[in-house]
Structure 1
Amino acid sequence: MQGLSCFKAYDIRGQLGSELNEDIAYRIGRAYGQYLRANTVVVGGDARESSPVLKLAVANGLRDAGVNVLDLGMAGTEEVYFATFHLGVDGGIEVTASHNPIDYNGMKLVTHGSRPISGDTGLFDIQRLAESADWIESKEQGRLQKINLKKDYAEHIVSYVNVKNFTRPLRLVVNSGNGAAGPALDHIESQLKLLGIEVDFIKVHHQPDSTFPNGIPNPLLPDNRADTAEAVIKYQADMGIAWDGDFDRCFLFDENGLFIEGYYIVGLLAEAFLSKESGAKIIHDPRLTWNTIDIVTENGGTSVQSKTGHAFIKEQMRKEDAIYGGEMSAHHYFRDFAYCDSGMIPWLLVSELICKTGKPLSALVDERIAAYPSSGEINSKIDNPEVAIKRVRDFYQSKAINVDETDGVSLEFDKWRFNLRCSNTEPLVRLNVESKGDDELMSKVTRDIIELLRG
């Protein structure tokens, strides 16, 4: 078989038909089972029309490799992570294309303990085996069993907050984007009620719908934010929450319907965890750092920088025994969640913080945004990215007080800093700029760097 182009650095993603189909999904399942010598594996799938079919093909491949399969049905990526560590099985596979176009699908793979399987931890070995189909015949076919862990999952998710801190009722707008988040949220809502936590959920695009009538759920795109923002204002909610298709990322809106950049949520969650465990370690990525470092230091914690990307952050968290790790891209990782990312734990912690402080969400973040204004991530499609990055670096480096190469290049000056890096997944150069309390300076140097970068 020709090379499988759906294998990427961190996961599997491809266009339906040409890059990913039932035969390829079967091969991936069979190769995964054989390579890991697994006994039992959980599988789940998002709300896409193709997910149940591909999930069954993966399960058949696993079973022909002698692996017993536990099928979660429709589930978000974090439900597969949870099932894998909660049940102590050998691994998990989530069939999802997250926020990719409707004619795509993919998979996220983990091994025992929900450790990620990426390019340097076996993913490309699985690819080679799937391509060669050099199968070892199994003595007997594995069993397939359907299971429902949503109640156990909801109980675990709600355990991250203290019931006593919810001193007033909350109203939250929740936008599942017709993805897999809706059913999981319903179980979390039931668990909150059971504990006496009063939350009024205003549900937008709540029911899973494989046609995605309101567009592919990707709140990173400004065009996809209006429905959440408008509902927050209409219902005078305390906060708005929106998820991507497999809900491993959540995006927050304040009580005025304003979208909050993920960078500032990292600082909020760091503060929330340090109030629970003094002196804990917090992991962050190098793109935007000053606000996070400032909050962690203020609250008696230790900040540790990691290369961008879930595999790197999870590895660093394990190494440091960090309680929490956050990326500005709205991925948030938790030690007690097997160091995995969750899109449900963050909004619960922020809700708790709103109650504890007695402040609206805008008050919790506006001060931080003013202290460290940032550009947000600006992407440029450039023919020779390495040459362009070198051009920018050569121009600024002599004036920099610190140069860091953890991920791409970060140059730091007295009042501002920037990070410039090539995307791991797309032909793009990504720029992030921040300053110390000077929005005008941040905007000016951002324009200057873009002009230099794009030649």
Structure 2
Amino acid sequence: MNFDDIFKAYDIRGRIPEELNDEVATKLGKAYATYVKADTVMIGHDMRVTSPQLANAFAAGVQSTGKNVSFLGLIPTDVSYFAAGKFELPCVMFTASHNPANWNGLKFTDAGAVPIGKESGLQEIKRILEEESWTTSDQPGTREEMDVVDQYVEHALSMIHIDKIKPFKVAVDAGNGMAGLIVPKVFQHLPCELVPLYFDLDGTMPNHEPNPIKPENVAELVELVKHEGCDIGLAFDGDADRVFFIDERGSRVPSSLITAMVAKNLLAKKPGSTIIYNAVSSHSVPETIEENGGKAVMERVGHSYIKKTMKETGAIFAGEHSGHYYFLENYRADSGLIAALFVLEMLSDMDVEFSAALSDFEKYFAIEETNSEVADKDAAIARLKKAYSTAEILEFDGTTFTFSDYWFNVRPSNTEPVLRLNLEADTPQLRDAKAAEVLNIIRQG
């Protein structure tokens, strides 16, 4: 079997059952257990219909090598990172994040919540899998069931001052995903009124795709915020490691504004610290970091890249445009829940409405990230380079073209057969004109 299609830049994702099934999961368990040094492997899974069965097949593969399994069961992805950090053990999470219901996948973490990506172990796991050169043992490893959710809730709440939180009215769309499990457990400790939407765990995702980066997937939450008079809205993706925000007016909040807001807050507490951002983040992010005495470091999209650079630079925080937020005190891992708690605490301290708190960071005008299916991605990028040859061009996490009054980035998706466009300009008129112009060139093929 050819495994090239399921091994991505920083995780494994495939269609069920043609690309990912029990047999493949068992072999992956053998390969992963052979790769990691620890004698025990932790395993968690999300609410997808196929996740429990795949996780159990993977566990059998691990045990066949003689290594032990601590089975964490049904958890959000950020709980798997927490467990790997707290217990200094490798952990695998079965989830395909926001992908459709007929997909599944695996996110690998080594002991200490160290990420395993394409350039940090994933290719070695693939080699072991392809060669079937895994360890075997006459004595199977043991298996124990382990519940770490309550410990994670305690950890997440320890990141803020609970007594500072004001009695906000908070609408939350769990999208029938893992936020439906974890959010009630956290909010029972807060003085907030929770207005839930789609909290029932359902792996068929019957109400909408659990991908809040798309406006159509938060449309109901926007209306709920406005109808119920909420102070803030939170939209989580399927495995609950990403969060997107809605302000009190029902407006979607760009993730770059949250990154800038959190960065400013953290730099006031830890002056001179390093904070990481993406090439596709708003220019307001590095500007805010530097204006507040911090060091801004650009890194590629993807948790394995971000966490590695956080460790190398000593960064205290990182934010991605895709709604991932990483915290040093969270084992350098991302957590949508912790990001939401940070924002609630900041709004409590500032004592202003959410939209007012963001106004200082709204300097530019950006498009929604726009995908284009193209037959030849390289040819499309070559057309752009020819058309915008006078730009300052940066080849990093795609290709970024920068002019004095606008910039745009085009990069191939790591998980889908598309080119992604991000563009930002000094005025909305320039934004709209340039977005149409660039998309026309991309889609000529």
What does 1:199-278 align with in structure 2 at a 5 Å threshold? 199-278=192-271
| 1:292 corresponds to which of 285, 288, 295 | 285
Whether 1:439 and 2:431 are equivalent positions in the alignment is no
Is contact 1:16–1:103 with CA below 8 Å preserved after alignment? yes
Report the secondary structure of 1:344's partner residue.
helix
Partners of 1:393 and 1:6 in 2: how far apart? 31
Partner of 1:380: 372
Q: Which amino acid aligns with 2:354?
A: L
Residue 75 of structure 2 aligns with which residue? 75
Q: Where does residue 400 of structure 2 map in the other structure?
A: 410
Q: Could you say what secondary structure the match of 2:388 adopts?
A: helix
Q: 354-363 vs 307-316, which deviates more?
A: 307-316
Partner of 2:58: 58
- Give the partner amino acid of 1:359: V
Per-residue displacement from partner, 1:266-307 (whole Å, max 9, x unpaired)?
A: 112212222322221110011134110221122221111112
Residue type at the aligned position of 2:70: L
> How many percent of aligned residue pairs carry the same amino acid?
35
Deviations 1:67-86 (Å, cap 9, x if unpaired)?
11111110011111101111
CA drift at 1:328: 0.5
Q: Kindly tell me: are residues 390 and 21 of structure 1, through their superposed partners in 2, closer, same or farther at Cα, counting changes over 3 Å?
A: same
Matched residue SS, 1:137: coil
Contact 1:13 1:106 in 2 (8 A): yes
**Unmatched tracts of structure 2, length 5 or more:** none
Q: Counterparts of 1:306 and 1:5 in 2: how far apart (Å)?
A: 25
Output the amino acid matched with 2:78: E
CA distance in 2, matches of 1:336, 1:361: 25
**SS at 1:14's partner residue?**
strand
Give the AA of the match of 1:277: K
Distance 1:385 1:6, change over 3 A: closer
Aligned to 2:180: 182
Q: Matches of residues 7-156 of structure 1 in structure 2 within 5 Å?
A: 7-89=7-89, 91-156=90-155
Letter in 1 for 2:113: S
Partner of 2:351: 358
Cα pair 1:4 1:19 within 8 Å, conserved: no
CA contact 1:4–1:131 (8 Å) conserved in 2 = no
Deviations 1:130-180 (A, max 9, x none): 2333343225211111111112101111122223532x3111111111111
Between the aligned partners of 2:439 and 2:209, the Cα distance in structure 1 is 29
Instruction: State the Cα distance separating 1:2 from its structure 2 match.
Output: 4.8
2:33 maps to amino acid: G
Deviation of 1:4 (Å): 6.2
Paired residue total: 444
Change (3 A) 1:189 1:3: closer
Counterparts in 2 of 1:336 and 1:165: CA distance versus 1, 3 Å: same
Please, what is the CA RMSD of the aligned residues? 1.7
* Structure 1 unaligned regions, length at least 5: none
Name the residue aligned to 1:349: 342
| CA contact 1:180–1:246 (8 Å) conserved in 2 | yes
Change (3 A) 1:215 1:244: same
Once the two structures are overlaid, the 10-residue window that deviates more, 124-133 or 137-146, is 124-133
SS at match of 1:122: helix
Structure-2 residue corresponding to 1:394:
386
1:367, distance to aligned residue in structure 2 (A): 4.8
Q: Which residue type is aligned with residue 440 of structure 1?
A: Q
The offset of 1:384, in angstroms, is: 2.2
Distance, in Å, in 1 between the alignment partners of 2:304 and 2:2 is: 27
Corresponding residue number in structure 1 for 2:437: 448
Q: Does the 8 Å CA contact 2:88/2:113 hold for their aligned counterparts?
A: no
Q: Determine the structure 2 residue equivalent to 1:423.
A: 413
Give the secondary structure class of the aligned counterpart of 1:270: helix
* TM score, norm. by length of structure 2: 0.95
In structure 1, give the amino acid aligned to 2:431.
M
Cα shift readout 1:181-232 (whole Å, capped 9, x = no counterpart)? 2221222123xx2xxx411111111121233231332222222212211221
